[in-house]
Chains A and B, each alone.
Chain A
Amino acid sequence: MADGIYRKILHARLRGQLSYRGSFLLDCLAQAIAQGGELVVILVLFNRITALGGFSVTEVLLVYALASTAFGMSDLFAGQLNALPMYIREGTFDVLLLRPLGTLPQLMASDLPLKRIGRVFSGLVVLGYALLHNDVVWTPWSVGLLLVTPVAGAVIFSGIWVLACSVCFWLVDGQELANTVTYGSNTFTSYPISVYSGWLRRLMAFVVPGAFVAYYPALALLDKTDPLGAPAWLGWVAPLVAALVAGLAGITWTFAVRHYRGTGS
């Protein structure tokens, strides 16, 4: 019922974009390259070395591809949250409150920047390559894991996005701090977490649960033991982590909007 509404909104948004066909292709390309930036780093480094954090080039590419696909999908919807400061500043957030729908889904559906498909696309291409060049044992379970992982990853990223952007209801220039967390976790999750160390790893892998986006599921797909010694079942719990993050994001958003409307302060 309600999703029919959002489908219509998104459909109309897509048509709206076609009115700016001009630089669409270049924009799309730029997005694909932007997401591919990390890919260049990986390839350049492996031109000089044979292993990074205990992983071969094809293994690192699998981690990168899973993270990249998930981030691209999340960016399609949650990326609109970057416009939240503008909505608050210009008072258009009030208009969302005047409609008989939730504010968060309205905001996410406010635009569907098709150019960001470029990011998903570059992720999927590398994913195809990485799957062909790694020894993945294909069972119904691993196929299921492969299908679920990018979706769970996208939900985790989106949840992080919502949590980080909620800061904007309190801080005027909260957006840049939020970007540090969102785009920062995009970079972080593109590599095996064994590359990082100390509090940075603990923070970005477990507090911000970046390790569940690509690293642990990739280990499970590769049937590889974690060089850091984590148990193998962690590769299968990404959907649970995603549900947890989504729940937390929902509660935080409700709290933030309540603050905006004046009861939370």
Chain B
Amino acid sequence: MIAGTATNVVFGLLRMAVLLAALDAAPGGRIAGYDVAATVTYVWLGQGLLAFVVLWGDAALANRIRSGDVVVDLYRPWDLQQALLAEDLGRAAYCAVTRLVPPVVVGALLFPFRWPTPERWPVFLVSAVLAVLVSFGMRFLVNASTFWLLDNRGVMALYGVATGILCGLTVPLDFFPEWARFALWFTPMPAIMQSPIDVFIGHGSLWLTVGHQVFWAVALFLAGRLALARAVRKVVVQGG
């Protein structure tokens, strides 16, 4: 936890330096509505959310599929997807304390930080949970692809680097050119990280942001069900 937070802090400092240097050179000292406080908050909240939403993806289910252990999971009297979701929410709750709070505290203590207005707090909590749900939905699908691809490490590696850029970790998505921003909102990517940050700093339309998250959380969950059902049929028919 200490080592992880140290990493978050160093990368937070590097990211913040680059973005603030950019603000410095921008007309009026702001880019796409981000002033210094919004940028600082964006950076440190992002470093905290990184582990909270498992931005890079994970491989636990994929490893169980590859080793064949998944058969045991499938025959247990539970819904595998819901069981994994429950597990992931528990993990996120733990991460909220150990990984999300520390970078935010560092940012808030040392730099000009912007806290949400009181009525935004509950919305932020909802948005953060939705971010975990969307991330879970994406990770579940990426992992489940192992049922069809013998070796999906390439897919996972690709997912890991794509999220870093497209979810809004390295640079706020509103800095992107118009066409790219437009295209990104048709994907679940912003819902994983940029959305809770936007809610926190009061950027953009609150309800549109959360609505987008709800849509993707539900859509990905249903897609995951469908994929799992097909995978089960495949495992049963082919015997793994």
User: Using a CB–CB distance below 8 Å, which chain A residues touch chain B?
Assistant: 20, 22-27, 29-31, 33-34, 37-38, 40-41, 44-45, 47-53, 173-174, 176-177, 179-180, 184, 187-188, 191, 194-197, 200, 204
Contacts and interface: CB of A to CB of B under 8 A. Distances in A.
Contacts of B4: 176
A109 to B, nearest CB: 23
5 shortest interchain CB distances as A-B pairs? A26-B154, A23-B154, A30-B157, A176-B3, A22-B151
Secondary structure at the A interface, as helix, strand, loop or mixed, is helix
B59 to A, nearest CB: 13
A165 B153 CA distance: 25
Contact of B17 (A30, A34, A195): A195
Contacts, number: 113
A29 B17 CA distance: 29
B11 A184 contact: yes
Nearest to B160: A30
Interface residues of B toward A: which range? 35 or more
B45 interface: no
A16 B143 CA distance: 26
Contacts of B162: 33
B111 interface: no
Contacts of B154: 22-27, 29-30
B171 A44 contact: yes
B32 interface: yes
Contact of B171 (A26, A45, A176, A180): A45
B31 interface: yes
Contacts of B25: 49-53
Contacts of A176: 3-4, 6-7
Contacts of B3: 173-174, 176-177, 180
